[in-house]
Amino acid sequence: MMTMGLFRNATDTRDFAAGDTIFAEGDEGHQMFVVRNGEVEIIVKGNVVATLGEGEIFGEMALIDARPRSAGARAKSSCTLVPVDEKRFTFLIQQTPQFGLHVLRVLADRLRRADERVERGHEKLEWGSSLRMGEEV
């Protein structure tokens, strides 16, 4: 899993207890996160739309478009996250193009899932990605 390889030795991690809010929908976002261990729930309009685990990323949209968070994130279990700010994100994309490609694949997968849900007429949009670094869409 490429994400874990890139962040395995990161020392700038953040730990959260189960139930802790990582960020809220509408917050300003200056970091994305990589789940090093544990599980994180993604919440849109009060509904859990995805549960993410080891190696998965979230919060990347705020780095890409500099707009408020479109979803909230809460620790489902105790977890350790690796924060990635814009400077680190840019460096990773420049030095590890596969990382940038992975972020694009995750976004594309989430968009396709949302489109499918809308086409089926479901109110609840699920955008969680089961992709982990190194997997193909």
Question: Is position 133 within any domain?
Answer: no
Which tens digit of pLDDT belongs to each residue from 34-71?
999 999 999 989 989 899 999 999 999 988 998 999 99
Count of domains observed in the chain: 1
Q: Report which of 103, 98, 113, 110 is spatially closest to residue 64, judged by C-alpha positions.
A: 103
Question: 69, 59 in Cβ contact below 8 A?
Answer: yes
Structural contact between residues 117 and 125, judged by C-beta atoms closer than 8 angstroms: yes
Is position 129 within any domain? no
In a domain, 131, yes or no: no
| Arithmetic mean of pLDDT, 2-25 | 87
Domain of 53 in residue numbering reads as 2-119
Indicate whether 103 belongs to any domain.
yes
pTM, rounded to two decimals:
0.82
Q: What is the CATH number of the domain that holds 115?
A: 2.60.120.10
